[in-house]
Chain A
């Protein structure tokens, strides 16, 4: 007989198979339907726009597993084996069904090719799963969990694969076809059984394999295997353009379709936990736990059966209080294989808490009240806002007849904090030396609204945004440079259709350098390292300009910390944390300052007032005062400027 598959050999009651298959399919589709129901109930509608960019990203990430390779080649390869092994086997089984029920074509050479492909796929899957189990249970990779679901599912898949090989082996052992050598793996197993035993045990094995594989298909929507469908969906949805509306959207705090799909697609891989600075400082917050809790609460709210992941019942404590720890540094999004922005979900949860009112931490409550009353979170009088500049006689753009090309938007922290005021003075002097015409808003400078936005006070944010826009409009301000990456980020990304251009000062200095407006003196040979502020680097992808500036100063040698550029470690000041006092074992800023110390640099340079303050405090707290100095890039640049006026 030509090479082909023996279908249903010795299987009586084939009707039972069809029944089980129908049952399994029903369960599978029911589970999918439940997901769609929950998503629809949550988001209101399942309508999706089509985006070519999102679609092609989804295809590439799904089939090449790019995100899983990112930073971890072993994980990437392992997953690729499992993915392709499983996919090919699935396709193979489908082809077999087509051959059996529709038109016969899988005989002879096509069958041999098919057989080899299945062999290879089966081995890929088996190796992949075993590798996965080794990583999780023997190597014990820290970010991987070891719950009931985490052992059950891979073993289930493994058993399906191994039992499939066993069946093939049994058939070969009995049949001994001439072409049997092509099915090498099966053949090897087959050799373990005599033909007689093979014949005897085959039905049991067959039903066993059938039950295992059909039930595996059935439980896909009820376990983390849902990511098979969920992950591509999430990758697609997260790739769609997010619009920023200028009108206050009351539903901005609601989790949308993209969020709920992300929650369900989350495989609990833990890459977010591995990079989260909060988890790293052993604080009671981890993005993964938060996302799983959100998933659970969404299902409890919208599903008639509650949370259907019956194998994963772990509930981490107090996740509904600890989301105030998140600094919104975006490290999680940087590494999430399904592009889940956990910090955005945190901010949405904060919006709920703010509206509800009773779960807002006391200090934050007070800070927001002060922000609303005094236009700054520092309890400082509005009248003192321009006080840092009192000896500098800077043009006040709010005065009649005062005009300048550039508005220097100082920001709340830089205006009022003693340490951070140095940043403003330095930049003012630099611009002066370079002959750039600029002015400040002085007492009238409002808050850009960043803090309100990050802690979920959307109403206050919109008020402050409207204030800012009004002011800029009234005084005809079209060019803005900021000290803080937070102000810059907010202006650039969250002020829709802003009629002004906002830049962070590093972009301005970089341009000035390119134009020859900054000339540096030779400095004493010093090693410096640069801390990428989260809102300059990760959030806005500005990594090179500050480095270029530093490298342009002769005598200064830039060395990098272990975590730099998009992997930079948050200082702990963002997400409203500067104005709260959340207890933690270790401070994030202290972890970071020690990284700086490890480089052997004498100066730690940063480009954000919050980083400047947090790292300065950490330097004092860890006793590194003698060996390390913290400076803002402005301060470094001013020091190095070739001019008689440059006195620090």
Chain B
């Protein structure tokens, strides 16, 4: 009890990368609270993930196995989590601000009598009352707020790619199995079908070439696609991104949108072409390792967060760039 508990997510049998980031921040909180760090994994066969988790340094790994946890049915997961928490009695419970976390977090908090803060970018312990101080962006990124909430369990969902993931450690933690009683009747919402769509996994890209209003027209994305192909030869996965304006104009689908209401990414290189840098967009990519901006307006916000900038019409730069990249390779 009094653990700092992390909800680990399992993707295709193994532990999701975000869980490692959670372990990172969890470890720090556990140290500050002088308590244990533990991680909880659920599923129909989480053994693999549990074993993986145990090698990343938590004090304990809790595992819940149940056939009904194969797919994500929120009501069943909530019931399982509630029961697991009754046994574990954590002091702090962190989840990723992921598709699952967004739904499970608030609903579980309600059941546990806790107050949750979503999408946190920093978590620290208040030395006075040992409560968790939750830092999150508000007002579309225009301000940063720090909240404190009372309650038996301190809960938060954490933004991806903000905290550093933990490294593997020597040894393995103990894996404890927790039994839960759940049955299908608990689920009042039934899934009729899941349809796969071609989802652009922007957050997995190494390099993102992104276009905005400054492209002037839909055809601008064709030029960016040429650049993308050229860069693909030297870099791992290169994808196309965009600002919300480009989606609004109908030039590209919202899958490619980078920003607060799109995808938050931090690739190795982010190339912003014709994007002025409104705050809602910046918060989505500002943590990229290197940012390159091409824009005709020297005073635009994007140059203020870029490592390299070119003040020129992209239609003049991109074709020449592609040629030069080919020459150099």
Task: Establish whether A and B are touching in the complex (CB under 8 Å).
Answer: yes
Chain A residues near B (Cβ < 8 Å): 362-363, 366, 418, 581, 583, 617, 620-621
Binary contact readout B203-223 vs A (1 if CB under 8 angstroms, 0 otherwise): 000000000000011100000
Residue of B248, B250, B313 touching A620 (CB-CB under 8 A) = B313
The residue on A at minimum CB distance from B248 is: A363
Return A125 CB to nearest CB of chain B, in Å.
53
Query: Within the assembled complex, what's the spacing in Å between the Cα atoms of A432 and B158?
Result: 59
The residue on B at minimum CB distance from A363 is: B248
Which residues of chain A are near B315, meaning CB under 8 Å?
620
Check A366 against B216 for contact (C-beta < 8 Å). no
Which residues of chain B are near A620, meaning CB under 8 Å?
216, 313, 315
Check B249 against A581 for contact (C-beta < 8 Å). yes
Check B216 against A621 for contact (C-beta < 8 Å). yes
The residue on A at minimum CB distance from B315 is: A620
Check A362 against B248 for contact (C-beta < 8 Å). yes
Return B43 CB to nearest CB of chain A, in Å.
41
Check A366 against B313 for contact (C-beta < 8 Å). no
Query: Within the assembled complex, what's the spacing in Å between the Cα atoms of A581 and B218?
Result: 10
Check A363 against B216 for contact (C-beta < 8 Å). no
Within 8 A of A (CB), among B292-327: 297, 313, 315
Which residues of chain A are near B249, meaning CB under 8 Å?
363, 581
Query: Within the assembled complex, what's the spacing in Å between the Cα atoms of A621 and B249?
Result: 18
Which residues of chain A are near B218, meaning CB under 8 Å?
583
Return A34 CB to nearest CB of chain B, in Å.
44
Residue of A362, A418, A583, A617 touching B216 (CB-CB under 8 A) = A617
Check A621 against B217 for contact (C-beta < 8 Å). yes
Within 8 A of A (CB), among B200-245: 216-218
Return B294 CB to nearest CB of chain A, in Å.
15
Query: Within the assembled complex, what's the spacing in Å between the Cα atoms of A366 and B297?
Result: 25
Query: Within the assembled complex, what's the spacing in Å between the Cα atoms of A581 and B217?
Result: 9
Query: Within the assembled complex, what's the spacing in Å between the Cα atoms of A153 and B250?
Result: 45
Can you give 12 contacting A-B residue pairs, CB < 8 Å? Answer: A362-B248, A363-B248, A363-B249, A418-B297, A581-B249, A583-B218, A583-B250, A620-B216, A620-B313, A620-B315, A621-B216, A621-B217
Contact A366 to B217, CB < 8 A, known contacts A418-B297, A620-B315: no
Which residues of chain B are near A583, meaning CB under 8 Å?
218, 250
Query: Within the assembled complex, what's the spacing in Å between the Cα atoms of A366 and B218?
Result: 20
Return B311 CB to nearest CB of chain A, in Å.
13
Which residues of chain A are near B313, meaning CB under 8 Å?
620
Query: Within the assembled complex, what's the spacing in Å between the Cα atoms of A617 and B249?
Result: 17
Query: Within the assembled complex, what's the spacing in Å between the Cα atoms of A362 and B251?
Result: 14
Which residues of chain A are near B251, meaning CB under 8 Å?
581
The residue on B at minimum CB distance from A587 is: B217
- 4 shortest interchain CB distances as A-B pairs: A581-B249, A581-B250, A617-B216, A363-B248
Query: Within the assembled complex, what's the spacing in Å between the Cα atoms of A617 and B250?
Result: 19
The residue on A at minimum CB distance from B217 is: A621
Chain B residues near A (Cβ < 8 Å): 216-218, 248-251, 297, 313, 315
| Total residue contacts A-B, CB cutoff 8 A | 16
Which residues of chain A are near B250, meaning CB under 8 Å?
581, 583
Which residues of chain A are near B216, meaning CB under 8 Å?
617, 620-621
Return A578 CB to nearest CB of chain B, in Å.
13
Return B257 CB to nearest CB of chain A, in Å.
15
Return B301 CB to nearest CB of chain A, in Å.
15
Which residues of chain B are near A418, meaning CB under 8 Å?
297
A-B contacts besides A363-B248, A363-B249, A581-B249, 6 pairs, CB < 8 Å: A581-B250, A583-B250, A620-B313, A620-B315, A621-B216, A621-B217
Query: Within the assembled complex, what's the spacing in Å between the Cα atoms of A418 and B250?
Result: 24
The residue on A at minimum CB distance from B219 is: A621
Return A384 CB to nearest CB of chain B, in Å.
13
Which residues of chain B are near A362, meaning CB under 8 Å?
248
Query: Within the assembled complex, what's the spacing in Å between the Cα atoms of A621 and B216?
Result: 9
Return B126 CB to nearest CB of chain A, in Å.
38
Which residues of chain B are near A363, meaning CB under 8 Å?
248-249
Which residues of chain B are near A581, meaning CB under 8 Å?
249-251
Query: Within the assembled complex, what's the spacing in Å between the Cα atoms of A541 and B240?
Result: 49
The residue on A at minimum CB distance from B278 is: A379
Return B160 CB to nearest CB of chain A, in Å.
30
Which residues of chain A are near B248, meaning CB under 8 Å?
362-363, 366
Return A550 CB to nearest CB of chain B, in Å.
29
Which residues of chain A are near B217, meaning CB under 8 Å?
621
Return B164 CB to nearest CB of chain A, in Å.
37
Query: Within the assembled complex, what's the spacing in Å between the Cα atoms of A633 and B128?
Result: 70
Query: Within the assembled complex, what's the spacing in Å between the Cα atoms of A617 and B296?
Result: 13
Query: Within the assembled complex, what's the spacing in Å between the Cα atoms of A583 and B217?
Result: 10
Query: Within the assembled complex, what's the spacing in Å between the Cα atoms of A581 and B220?
Result: 14
Query: Within the assembled complex, what's the spacing in Å between the Cα atoms of A480 and B217?
Result: 36
Query: Within the assembled complex, what's the spacing in Å between the Cα atoms of A581 and B249?
Result: 6
Return B173 CB to nearest CB of chain A, in Å.
52
Return A413 CB to nearest CB of chain B, in Å.
16
The residue on A at minimum CB distance from B216 is: A617
The residue on A at minimum CB distance from B250 is: A581
Return A331 CB to nearest CB of chain B, in Å.
25
Return A272 CB to nearest CB of chain B, in Å.
28
Query: Within the assembled complex, what's the spacing in Å between the Cα atoms of A620 and B251?
Result: 19
Query: Within the assembled complex, what's the spacing in Å between the Cα atoms of A62 and B48?
Result: 90
The residue on A at minimum CB distance from B297 is: A418
Query: Within the assembled complex, what's the spacing in Å between the Cα atoms of A581 and B250?
Result: 8
Return B329 CB to nearest CB of chain A, in Å.
28
Query: Within the assembled complex, what's the spacing in Å between the Cα atoms of A363 and B217?
Result: 15
Return A585 CB to nearest CB of chain B, in Å.
12
Query: Within the assembled complex, what's the spacing in Å between the Cα atoms of A363 and B244?
Result: 12
Return B232 CB to nearest CB of chain A, in Å.
27
Return B41 CB to nearest CB of chain A, in Å.
43
Query: Within the assembled complex, what's the spacing in Å between the Cα atoms of A363 and B250?
Result: 10
Which residues of chain B are near A366, meaning CB under 8 Å?
248
Query: Within the assembled complex, what's the spacing in Å between the Cα atoms of A581 and B213?
Result: 12
Return B213 CB to nearest CB of chain A, in Å.
10
Query: Within the assembled complex, what's the spacing in Å between the Cα atoms of A418 and B251?
Result: 23
Return A573 CB to nearest CB of chain B, in Å.
14
Return A227 CB to nearest CB of chain B, in Å.
41
Which residues of chain B are near A621, meaning CB under 8 Å?
216-217
Query: Within the assembled complex, what's the spacing in Å between the Cα atoms of A617 and B251?
Result: 17
Return A621 CB to nearest CB of chain B, in Å.
7
Query: Within the assembled complex, what's the spacing in Å between the Cα atoms of A621 and B219?
Result: 10
Query: Within the assembled complex, what's the spacing in Å between the Cα atoms of A621 and B248?
Result: 21
Return A332 CB to nearest CB of chain B, in Å.
27
Query: Within the assembled complex, what's the spacing in Å between the Cα atoms of A362 and B249?
Result: 9
Which residues of chain A are near B297, meaning CB under 8 Å?
418
Return B157 CB to nearest CB of chain A, in Å.
30
The residue on B at minimum CB distance from A582 is: B250
Query: Within the assembled complex, what's the spacing in Å between the Cα atoms of A583 and B219?
Result: 11
Return B131 CB to nearest CB of chain A, in Å.
39
Which residues of chain B are near A617, meaning CB under 8 Å?
216
Query: Within the assembled complex, what's the spacing in Å between the Cα atoms of A527 and B217?
Result: 31
The residue on B at minimum CB distance from A366 is: B248
Query: Within the assembled complex, what's the spacing in Å between the Cα atoms of A617 and B315?
Result: 12
Query: Within the assembled complex, what's the spacing in Å between the Cα atoms of A524 and B111?
Result: 81
Query: Within the assembled complex, what's the spacing in Å between the Cα atoms of A363 and B251?
Result: 13
The residue on B at minimum CB distance from A580 is: B249
Query: Within the assembled complex, what's the spacing in Å between the Cα atoms of A362 and B315?
Result: 28
Return A222 CB to nearest CB of chain B, in Å.
43
Query: Within the assembled complex, what's the spacing in Å between the Cα atoms of A621 and B220?
Result: 10
Query: Within the assembled complex, what's the spacing in Å between the Cα atoms of A620 and B248?
Result: 23
Return B274 CB to nearest CB of chain A, in Å.
12
Return A583 CB to nearest CB of chain B, in Å.
8
Query: Within the assembled complex, what's the spacing in Å between the Cα atoms of A362 and B245?
Result: 12
Return B263 CB to nearest CB of chain A, in Å.
21
Query: Within the assembled complex, what's the spacing in Å between the Cα atoms of A594 and B105?
Result: 60
Query: Within the assembled complex, what's the spacing in Å between the Cα atoms of A525 and B223?
Result: 39
Query: Within the assembled complex, what's the spacing in Å between the Cα atoms of A418 and B300?
Result: 12
